[in-house]
Homo-oligomer: A and B are copies of this chain.
Amino acid sequence: MGILLYDLAGAEEDRRFSPFCWRVKMALTHKGLHFDETPWRFTETDRLAFSGQARVPVIVDEPSENCSVGAQTEIVSDSWEIAKYLDATYPGIPLIPEGTEAATFFFKNWVDQTVLPGIAKQVVFDVWRHLGPEDQDYFRSSREKRFGITLEEIDAKASDALPSFQKSLAPMRATLNAYAYLGGPYSEADEPGFMDHIVFGCFAWARGVSEKVLLEKDDPVYAWRERMLDAYGGYARAKPGYNV
């Protein structure tokens, strides 16, 4: 009964770092929905066969006994599809307020094309260090194929790549100079929303595995990340990670 999330784990079962799973965990917490998690590793594709694909996040939403007649178990994958499913099924406290779906999708595309690859260059070797031996082989070969160089070579270039990553955050930084959050359910933008969860997932990914300093303390993005770690009763801050 209830919602079960398949969440990527490393060698340590409680160290969770998938940026896409983090989007879903923040979204579920934002909506006040109770959920259980089951740790999942890259090589456990058999365990996801029921979902029709091989990647997390996947949620299984089983209707409670009190639910209306006709409700059935729903299986949803992909963090964007999960957010839309949650808003449609549990309308209270919206993630993507009415009229903001295209704007939020634009933001997701910007994050996925700018922030995510920028942080990947910083933390991909740190992810590998935190995986169990069976996952390390899969991860190294798939990522080295994608980047065209070894994980150690990517890591050696990380500090040189940091200024351009920080510079790429400029539109987000200018927004957070004027607003506390990027997209909340309220017009004053004084609460986080799914736009915040989308990009916070990237920073939570880094926090889970890497001791590298990605943001200067006087950066408005740093202050926003602190607010996100403290949001929802400090949900994200309480999870295993490196506080840098």
**Residues of chain A whose beta carbon lies under 8 Å from any beta carbon of chain B:** 97-107, 109-110, 113-114, 170-172, 174-175, 178-179, 181-189, 195
| Partner of A182 from B98, B106, B171 at Cβ < 8 Å | B106
Q: Is the CB of A103 within 8 A of B187?
A: no
Complex Cα–Cα for A241 and B110 (A)? 31
Contact between B174 and A102 (Cβ–Cβ < 8 Å)? no
Contact status A184-B99, CB under 8 Å: yes
When C-beta atoms are compared, the residue in chain B nearest to A167 turns out to be: B113
Smallest CB separation, A108 vs chain B (Å): 8
Tell me whether A103 and B182 are in contact (CB under 8 A): yes
A100 to B99, CA, bound (A): 8
* Structural contact, A182 and B102, CB atoms closer than 8 A: yes
Question: Which residue of chain B has the shortest Cβ distance to A98 in the bound complex?
Answer: B187
CA distance A101 to B175 in the complex (A): 10
A-B contact pairs, 13 of them (CB 8 A): A98-B187, A99-B184, A99-B189, A100-B100, A100-B103, A102-B179, A102-B181, A102-B182, A103-B103, A103-B104, A105-B179, A106-B171, A113-B171
Which B residues lie within 8 Å of A97 (CB)?
A: 98-100
Minimum CB distance partner of A195 in chain B:
B103
